Structures are given as structure tokens and as C-alpha cells.
């Protein structure tokens, strides 16, 4: 979907408390384009890609706002991070980072997903049992000066100075490492004993591009894409859901069908109806459901939610899943994909075909 466009499922923008920082939430985090290989040459900075929730953090004295990449507040789900951020010496700042949960030396994304729960008592219990960390990789403001327009090489220098005054290596809030050495980045990418799931490369002369992929790419250990769940098919026998139909937004902002995923365990399959319940169209919502571009079976679109009228059932574009795949061509995944996780932290309009498109080689 084009930048700035509103998705059909977009809710009323969240309200954030007033704070005395120059940068105000919600902000769109700088994004990365997926590529197949690490870029080489002068001018690149490499960082581990952590398996967690991207977060922009705003602090104004006792007020701490943790904003997700989708522009939603996260602070209520991570009270231990709010406490840790309130304890830092700097009273006002805006940083960019990743929320992770480390369990026995490995990052546990499922533990993060368990936090997105309405019950405060459960959140409190989990925050003690599996405390989260914030790994900071960019400083956008220190309360007096905004650094987002400065090149990355200067922002990193300021961040490292800031971290020496505020952060400890084994504390809940800590500095994320970086390197200018391509061989170090390759070790992060190939050493399976490390807890990162890929590498991010950033151009050191670029400013912070809010909501943009310029100057930042990522290489993951497996090829993945975030997709909209825009429909489903029943299993060939019985009433269980057999597969989820996946969509990506094209350059015109239309949602194209790009494949399916059916890699569910029996336990996961039993939970699918509950997961998609909020996306089933109600009377009057039929035209908003399904695929607005290419649909399963061809360009024609099934526009009536009638269980006996079609082999697939449309859903409102509300749900995002991350899928892993081995090949994408002709506008679709050539084989069925695997579903490692649901992504409630992502907006549907972030599910574009740019995730799949190859990157032109940089002259850097």
C-alpha cells in the first residue's frame, strides 16, 4: 500500500500522553528492505538483527512511551522496561531499538507474543518470569537536540557516548553492537550459536528516514515475508480450516493473492477459527474483505460471504503472519509456505511486495 495510505482495517489512531520532547509519537520507524546478500564496500555499518518487536521509546521524566512499529502503544505490556527506562540518568530522550526476551541464551519470540494480552495480572506475572530487554541501536533525540537528520556515523557516535552515561551491559536496556567489518557481519549471519536471526546493513552517510527503506537493508537466515491473511479454505474433510490465503500489497495499493500456508500442527489448527474470528466480515462488510487485486482462481473477485458460493472464504485485511518460503516468482510463492508466527505488532499496510523485490547493487 502506498506510504501514507490508510488500510481498511485501520483503527482510530492511538492517543499518547503529552510529552516535552521535540519528536512526538506516533512516528514511523525507519524500515529495512530484504535482500539476498550482505552489501559490500565502503560506507556500510552492520548490526545484528534481533528476533523481537521493533520499538521507538520516548521518555519525558517519569512518562515513558513505548511505541510499536505499527504505531501502537506497547508500554503496558512491558512494565519492567518502563521501570528500567525511568531509572536511566537522562530524563528526556527518544531511541530506536528492539524488544527481545532471552530465555537460556536464545531469543524467544513466542514469549513476546504471550505479552500481548489484556489481563494485567498475566502481564505482571510474565514480566517477572520472562523479563524483556530493550536493545538500542539509534538515538533520535536527547531531549535538547534532534539527531534524526544527522548521518548515521554521527548518530552512532552520539549514541555510544549516551550509552556510556546511561546504560550497563547486563541491564534490561543495553546498547546493540555494530561493526564496519563485513567479515564480522558474515559471522553474525552464519554462526548459529548467536541469538540474532540476521544482519541489518545501514549506509553511514544517510539520515534517519522515517517510514522509509532508503539506506537500510536486511539479510535473514531464512527468507521470510510478512503477509496479510485475506482468506482461508476449509480442509478437504470436515469443518476444520485447511489453509490460510496470503496477500501482499502491490504498487497500486491493491492486495494481491500470493499463495497460501497450511503448515499447522493439530493443536494450531484447532485454534485457527478463534484467531480469524475478528476478521470474518459481517453483513455490509463483504466488499472490504478478500483481495482487492488478483484473487485466488484469477482476477475475478468473490464478493459475497456465502459458505456455499465459493471454495474460499474472504477475510477482512486485519491479520498479519510471517511466513518462510523458498522461492517467489510470477507474483506468488511457488510452493506452500511455513508459518513460524503471527505478527500482531505489524500493520497490514506494511505487507508489500517490496519485501520480495531484489535490491539494485549499491555503488558504495
Q: Specify the CATH number for the domain of residue 274.
A: 2.40.50.140
Q: Is 252 left (phi over 0), alpha (psi -120 to 50) or beta?
A: alpha
Instruction: Kindly indicate the confidence band of residue 289, based on its pLDDT and cuts at 50, 70 and 90.
Output: very high
Regarding whether 228 and 198 lie in a shared domain, the answer is no
The tens digit of pLDDT for each residue in 132-159 reads 999 999 999 998 999 999 999 999 999 9
pLDDT at 301: 39
Confidence bin at 356 (pLDDT 50/70/90): confident
| Residue-level pLDDT at 357 | 59
Structural domain ending residue among the three candidates 220, 244, 272:
220
Instruction: Write the pLDDT tens digit of every residue in 226-237.
Output: 999 999 998 877
Angle at 296 between CA 292 and CA 301, to 5 degrees: 45
Instruction: Write down which residue in 194, 220, 246 finishes a domain.
Output: 220
251 and 311 in one domain?
Answer: yes
Residue 102 has pLDDT above 50, yes or no: yes
Q: What is the total count of domains within the chain?
A: 2
> Residues 35, 217: contact at Cβ < 8 Å?
yes
- Residues 198 and 235 grouped into a single domain: no
pLDDT in tens, 337-354: 999 889 999 999 999 998
At 39, phi and psi to the nearest 5? -70, 145
Sign of the CA dihedral 13, 19, 23, 29? negative
**189 and 259 belong to one structural domain:** no
Same domain, 344 and 284: yes
Mean pLDDT of 248-275: 91
User: Which residues belong to the active site?
Assistant: 49
Q: Closest Cα to residue 334, out of 347, 323, 346, 321?
A: 323
Mean pLDDT of the chain: 88
Higher pLDDT, 358 or 350: 350
Question: Is the pLDDT at 302 greater than 60, yes or no?
Answer: no
Give the C-alpha separation, 333 to 35, whole Å: 16
- Of 200, 220, 240, the last residue of a domain is 220
Q: What is the mean pLDDT of residues 50-77?
A: 96
Q: Could you tell me if residue 2 is inside a domain?
A: no
Same domain, yes or no, for 214 and 331? no
Confidence tier at 10 by pLDDT (50, 70, 90): very low
238 in the same domain as 151: no
pLDDT value of residue 224: 87
Residue 24 lies in a domain: no
For residue 335, give its domain range: 224-355
Please tell me whether residue 109 adopts helix, strand or coil conformation. Answer: helix
Amino acid at each position: 500500500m502506498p506510504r501514507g495510505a490508510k488500510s481498511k482495517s485501520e483503527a482510530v489512531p492511538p492517543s499518547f500522553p503529552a510529552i516535552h520532547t521535540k519528536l512526538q509519537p506516533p512516528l514511523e520507524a525507519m524500515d529495512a528492505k530484504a535482500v539476498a546478500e550482505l552489501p559490500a564496500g565502503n560506507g556500510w555499518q552492520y548490526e545484528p538483527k534481533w528476533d523481537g518487536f521493533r520499538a521507538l521509546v520516548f521518555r519525558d521524566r517519569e512518562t515513558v512511551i513505548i511505541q510499536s512499529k505499527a504505531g501502537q502503544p506497547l508500554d503496558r505490556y512491558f512494565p519492567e522496561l518502563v521501570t528500567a527506562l525511568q531509572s536511566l540518568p537522562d530524563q528526556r530522550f527518544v531511541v530506536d531499538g528492539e524488544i527481545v526476551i532471552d530465555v537460556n541464551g536464545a531469543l524467544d519470540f513466542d514469549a513476546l507474543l504471550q505479552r500481548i494480552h489484556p489481563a494485567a495480572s498475566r502481564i505482571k506475572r510474565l514480566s517477572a518470569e520472562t523479563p524483556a530487554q530493550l536493545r538500542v541501536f539509534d538515538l533520535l533525540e536527547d531531549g535538547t537536540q534532534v539527531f534524526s537528520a544527522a548521518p548515521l556515523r554521527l548518530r552512532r557516535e552520539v549514541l555510544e557516548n549516551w550509552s556510556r552515561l546511561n546504560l550497563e551491559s547486563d541491564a534490561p536496556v543495553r546498547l546493540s553492537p555494530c561493526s564496519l567489518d563485513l567479515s564480522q557481519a558474515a559471522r553474525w549471519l552464519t554462526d548459529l550459536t548467536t541469538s540474532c536471526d540476521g544482519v541489518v546493513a545501514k549506509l553511514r552517510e544517510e539520515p534517519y528516514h522515517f517510514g522509509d527503506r532508503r539506506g537500510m537493508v536486511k539479510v535473514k537466515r531464512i527468507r521470510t515475508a510478512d503477509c496479510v491473511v485475506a482468506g482461508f479454505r476449509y480442509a478437504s474433510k470436515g469443518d476444520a480450516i485447511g489453509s490460510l490465503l496470503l496477500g501482499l500489497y502491490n504498487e497500486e495499493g491493491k492486495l494481491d493473492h500470493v499463495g497460501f500456508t497450511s503448515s499447522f500442527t493439530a493443536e494450531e489448527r484447532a485454534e485457527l477459527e478463534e484467531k480469524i474470528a475478528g476478521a470474518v466480515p459481517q453483513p455490509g462488510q463483504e466488499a472490504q474483505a478478500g483481495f482487492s487485486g488478483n484473487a485466488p482462481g484469477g482476477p475475478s473477485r468473490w464478493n459475497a460471504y456465502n459458505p456455499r458460493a465459493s471454495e474460499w472464504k474472504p477475510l477482512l485485511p486485519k491479520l498479519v503472519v510471517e511466513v518462510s518460503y523458498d522461492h517467489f516468482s510470477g507474483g506468488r510463492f511457488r510452493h506452500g509456505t511455513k508459518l513460524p508466527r503471527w505478527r500482531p505488532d505489524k500493520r497490514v499496510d506494511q505487507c508489500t511486495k517490496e519485501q520480495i523485490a531484489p535490491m539494485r547493487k549499491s555503488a558504495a
